[in-house]
Structure 1
């Protein structure tokens, strides 16, 4: 797995990606996948490795946001009921997801514009998500998360904010645990279909956790909602570009 040029540069960039994603409640799988593709990692190891990194980084991010009192349990449960089994199902399927990733990249542009208030300032008032809405959104995101090898936070967070189902930090807390459960389900699905996790991946976990710990702490405590929204827009720009070009 480590038979690639410039591995030391990879190991420097990896915790930076983890920091940036963890600060907004994300695990960073889309960033890890793009980085591994850029450094010519073996394709069969990329998806399980990205999901493994997600488990640790998103888990650390959730810990800090939960500790800060931002977790909305009901909001999470509505999404997770359908996302977990469908993430497992998606993880068992091997398909060419390049077309889907490009569509997702385009859709993320609209979320970025909304985060930057291009479509007008978002209301400070939030409204309760209906059960059917949560089940529908969670199921779709969960399936494609398992299929592609991401946790789904880059999709869920903008939806929560755009539909006013929670504020910025609530969205980050819910997305972090959502990413964790989807990553676990997707990884189990992949392993049940014959995928393997290289032993070297656990060294990457240690490197990613350096950024994940710092990102989760700073995002949950030190950055206000306005700055966090701009930081999320920056994260989505990166994710959109990487999804489109990889």
Structure 2
């Protein structure tokens, strides 16, 4: 890869990280789409996205947690089953012609539904039942490991649409959910004797910079309505990228 092309790739990763981290996401689907646009080998998609997810989700978790938005009660029922399932998914491989259209359709459907969502202050937040949370966590964890997308991009719309949490609370929970599942998925990937590409470290630095910017804006500066719109836009763009790239 030439220096000008690498510079453009670094800039794209920084922008993706900033946008996704503003809503508590690691940005894996955006990184996968970006790597595809830059003609990077598909075998590098999952490990690269998982590493960048770890960096950005780690930053987002710290910033949203310090801002007081994190809810352990909402987080743990989903995480307890998602972590082992994410490891299994990271170990396994799914053919591109199956997982990319599937993930793309789910993202676009979530974006369309979420675009009509607004946080209603008069409607109390409901907490999911344990069996439902365990099942959802297992499914999202497996999908996270198989595709390398972290799982938060599916968890956020689920929590918001079912009124299981407030917007910034959901962003904080999604950030840690992505962090633990990306770590589990990456461990599963490495345990199957697959490697991390050599160009990942500079991309990780770009993702770290974008993650700091986006998390700071999302945790305190951006209005709630803006965060919901940003999340919907992110889901829509990522979905079409997965379907078309």
Which TM-score applies when normalising by structure 2? 0.94
- 1: distance between equivalents of 2:26 and 2:19? 9
User: Which position in structure 2 is the counterpart of 1:222?
Assistant: 221
Q: Is the 8 A contact 1:48 1:197 kept in 2?
A: yes
> 1:159-174 to 2 correspondence within 5 Å?
159-174=158-173
- The answer to whether structure 1 residue 25 and structure 2 residue 24 are counterparts is yes
User: Which position in structure 1 is the counterpart of 2:111?
Assistant: 112
> 1:113-132 to 2 correspondence within 5 Å?
113-117=112-116, 121=118, 123-124=120-121, 125-132=124-131
User: Helix, strand or coil for the counterpart of 1:27?
Assistant: coil
- The answer to whether structure 1 residue 99 and structure 2 residue 98 are counterparts is yes
User: Which position in structure 1 is the counterpart of 2:193?
Assistant: 194
- 2: distance between equivalents of 1:98 and 1:170? 35
User: Helix, strand or coil for the counterpart of 2:10?
Assistant: helix
Aligned pair in 2 of structure 1 residues 122, 218: CA closer, same or farther (>3 Å)? closer
- 1: distance between equivalents of 2:239 and 2:7? 25
Aligned residues: CA RMSD = 1.6
User: Which position in structure 2 is the counterpart of 1:151?
Assistant: 150
- 2: distance between equivalents of 1:110 and 1:47? 23
Q: Deviations over 1:16-58 (max 9, x none)?
A: 0000000000000111011111111122222111100000101
- Gap regions ≥5 residues in structure 1: none
- 2: distance between equivalents of 1:156 and 1:219? 17
Which TM-score applies when normalising by structure 1? 0.94
Shift, 1:97, TM fit: 4.2
- The answer to whether structure 1 residue 90 and structure 2 residue 98 are counterparts is no
- Gap regions ≥5 residues in structure 2: none
Shift, 1:100, TM fit: 3.3
Runs of 4 or more above 6 Å deviation: none
User: Which position in structure 1 is the counterpart of 2:68?
Assistant: 69
